[in-house]
Amino acid sequence: ELKVEQNPLFLSMQEGKNYTIYCNYSTTSDRLYWYRQDPGKSLESLFVLLSNGAVKQEGRLMASLDTKARLSTLHITAAVHDLSATYFCAVASNFGNEKLTFGTGTRLTIIP
């Protein structure tokens, strides 16, 4: 059974600082996704990572994937208040399968 763990679960950080959210998963997979969820809202897709060493960046967020270590990171650079949200990683169960297993989420709060 695929297990996906995120840490930290809660993260409070000051504006302007850098930090990283980690996503570990237990079995081989070919796809990893990052989503953002604002309180009371739906999930918004941020990144799709498809291969070992993949790196994608959008604004102050950068995601990377190491399939050998079964690890993905979401790096936040010079955080701003607008980035406050819950971030989820999700991993595909196996090759060609569309089923995603979501991590527990990391609730990020940016303090002015």
Partner 1 sequence: DAGVIQSPRHEVTEMGQEVTLRCKPISGHNSLFWYRQTMMRGLELLIYFNNNVPIDDSGMPEDRFSAKMPNASFSTLKIQPSEPRDSAVYFCASSLALGGSNTDTQYFGPGTRLTVL
Residues in contact with partner 1 by the rule CB under 8 A: 30-31, 33, 35, 41-45, 48, 50, 88, 92, 95-105
User: For 104, left (φ over 0), alpha (ψ -120 to 50), or beta?
Assistant: alpha
* Smallest gap from residue 68 Cβ to partner 1 (A): 20
Q: How far is the CB of 78 from partner 1 (least distance, A)?
A: 26
**Which residue, 45 or 57, is less far from partner 1 as judged by CB?**
45
> Which residue in this structure is represented by tokens 């763990």?
5
Grouping H, G, I as helix, E, B as strand and the rest as coil, residue 83 is helix
Residue 75 C-beta: closest distance to partner 1, Å: 20
Q: Taking Cα atoms as reference points, which of 86, 108, 107, 102 lies closest to residue 32?
A: 102
